[in-house]
């Protein structure tokens, strides 16, 4: 099924029919994580959104080459490694492993390529040479090499602002030696106090690449100078993606990405007020913080219930509602085997595809799943349940049995328990009863109940547990 997918193209500010350069190889690049700390909920949304796009393209009959990079050298990484007294490689390896753990838990399939920036420094240097030869870049008095923004007339097309409207903001470093405050760094001259593993030799001096040139070099190397989709969070639209376009088009003279896709921001609801998620507001959540409280599939479902371009507001109530809703879908499908294939001509399947082809309108697609679930509950139609499960798995959902889902839920309170911890508490309660310490036994029962675990004492002394 080759789809009639419509994608909101950020650079055109409208939906556009998706027409890949090569229908036999859709090429897609997404800006990945800077690995100096654990991934947060905003990272989770990026990973889930573009995992979904890749899944939908493949379900629609398109082969896909998906690249999501890793930034493993930048100021924050260097600073954290120095603070910890460890090598940059040791730090980044650790947080890459943690990122993979979080992504795997959320059902995010690994990209086809996951390049590390430090492995492509030679390609970055080649691109910088090209830009300097074209007089689009220059070396300033500090030794940095900068891109000359005013030498690239198309600059500002993605952000929709003219050069005169654009101002050097918080994320655009202003150096007195730059020709223009909007000029951005391609190569940073090494500082004496920086560790040796943060420095590379080059024809323009010892240093390291700037952030923006990393993605240009990696995407062009792995996908070609022009490819289909470039994605990332809305916060990257300016200046990062704007700068990528300038560098890449400036260096190659070709068109770079055909479609630009940006997912919306994540906010946090606190005391009835929606706020931007930030450490300074003490409302910052890492993925693993959240997975201590909620089942990972519930978190994935919570993210998918919002259309990817919309704002996503995190709150306990919203995730609890997602958990209950996902539970209803699991109740409908039970232990049925997933359908072998999807017939997109059938009514429910066709409506699901129509929603997904409308710029991945997951709220409508999910509503189709609930219509199917209601029909299954009314008719006990196992074939329909199998079809429901197949559609849900396109979204990366309903991959378990209903029983497995219920047992995997980890409760609603911070510090929720896994099965081993639950069993350890049950054993401690059994021992307390044997010691006739009934107040302790009752306290353990209440602790488990607070975590959403109900105990049932059976004849013969055995204790079974279930989710509340």
| Tokens 């991959």 -> residue | 399
Q: Beta strand pairing status for 227-233 and 257-263?
A: parallel
Rounded CA gap, 173 and 186, in Å?
12
Cβ atoms 258, 229 nearer than 8 A: yes
**Can you tell me whether residue 6 is helix, strand or coil?**
strand
Tokens of 193: 């106090």
Task: Go through the chain and tell me how many residues it has.
Answer: 468
**Residue 39 labelled as part of a binding site:** no
**Residue 279 labelled as part of a binding site:** yes
Residues in CB range of 464: below 8 A, 6 or more apart: 455, 456, 458
Residues in CB range of 421: below 8 A, 6 or more apart: none
Question: Would you tell me how many other CB atoms lie within 10 Å of the CB of residue 343?
Answer: 12
Rounded CA gap, 73 and 293, in Å?
32
| Tokens 């020709």 -> residue | 179
**Residue 220 labelled as part of a binding site:** no
Burial of residue 33 (number of CB atoms within 10 Å: 0-12, 13-18, 19+): buried
- E strands in 255-360: 257-263, 266-270, 273-276, 312-314
**Residue 240 labelled as part of a binding site:** yes
Tokens of 406: 């219920």
* Binding-site entries: 31, 215, 240, 244, 279
* Binding-site entries for ATP: 279
* Binding-site entries for Zn(2+): 31, 215, 240, 244
């Amino acid at each position: 099924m080759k789809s009639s997918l419509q994608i909101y193209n950020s650079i055109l500010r409208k939906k556009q029919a998706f027409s890949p350069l090569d229908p036999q190889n859709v090429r897609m690049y997404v800006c990945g994580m800077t690995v100096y700390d654990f991934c947060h909920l905003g990272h989770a949304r990026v990973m889930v959104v573009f995992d979904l796009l890749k899944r939908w393209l493949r379900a629609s009959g398109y082969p896909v080459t998906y690249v999501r990079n890793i930034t493993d050298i930048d100021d924050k990484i260097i600073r954290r490694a120095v603070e910890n007294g460890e090598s940059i490689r040791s730090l980044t390896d650790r947080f890459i492993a943690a990122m993979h753990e979080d992504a795997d838990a959320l059902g995010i399939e690994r990209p086809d390529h996951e390049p590390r920036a430090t492995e492509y420094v030679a390609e970055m240097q080649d691109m910088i040479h090209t830009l300097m030869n074209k007089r689009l870049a220059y070396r300033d008095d500090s030794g940095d090499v900068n891109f000359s923004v005013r030498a690239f007339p198309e600059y500002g097309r993605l952000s929709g602002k003219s050069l005169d409207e654009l101002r050097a903001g918080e994320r655009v470093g202003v150096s007195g030696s730059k020709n223009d405050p909007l000029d951005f760094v391609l190569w940073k001259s090494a500082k004496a106090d920086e560790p040796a593993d943060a420095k590379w030799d080059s024809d323009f001096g010892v240093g390291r690449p700037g952030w923006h040139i990393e993605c240009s070099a990696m995407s062009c190397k792995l996908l070609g100078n022009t490819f289909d989709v470039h994605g990332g969070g809305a916060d990257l639209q300016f200046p990062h993606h704007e700068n990528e376009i300038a560098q890449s088009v400036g260096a190659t003279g070709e068109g770079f990405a055909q479609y630009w896709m940006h997912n919306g921001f994540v906010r946090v609801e606190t005391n009835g007020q929606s706020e931007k998620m930030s450490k300074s507001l003490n409302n910052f959540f890492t993925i693993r913080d959240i997975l201590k409280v909620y089942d990972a599939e519930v978190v994935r479902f919570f993210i998918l219930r919002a259309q990817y371009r919309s704002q996503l507001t995190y709150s306990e109530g919203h995730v609890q509602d997602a958990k209950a809703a996902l539970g209803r879908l699991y109740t409908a499908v039970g232990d049925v085997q997933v359908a072998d294939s999807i017939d997109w001509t059938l009514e429910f399947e066709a409506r699901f595809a129509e929603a997904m082809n409308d710029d991945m309108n997951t709220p409508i697609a999910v509503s189709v799943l609930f219509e199917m679930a209601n029909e299954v509950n009314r008719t006990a139609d196992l074939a329909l349940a199998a079809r429901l499960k197949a559609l849900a798995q396109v979204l990366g959902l309903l991959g378990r049995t209903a029983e497995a889902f219920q047992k995997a839920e980890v409760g609603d309170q911070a510090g929720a328990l896994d099965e081993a911890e639950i069993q350890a508490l049950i054993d401690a309660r059994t021992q307390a009863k044997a010691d006739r310490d009934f107040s302790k036994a009752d306290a353990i029962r209440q602790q488990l109940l607070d975590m959403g675990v109900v105990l049932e004492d059976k004849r013969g002394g055995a204790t079974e547990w279930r989710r509340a």
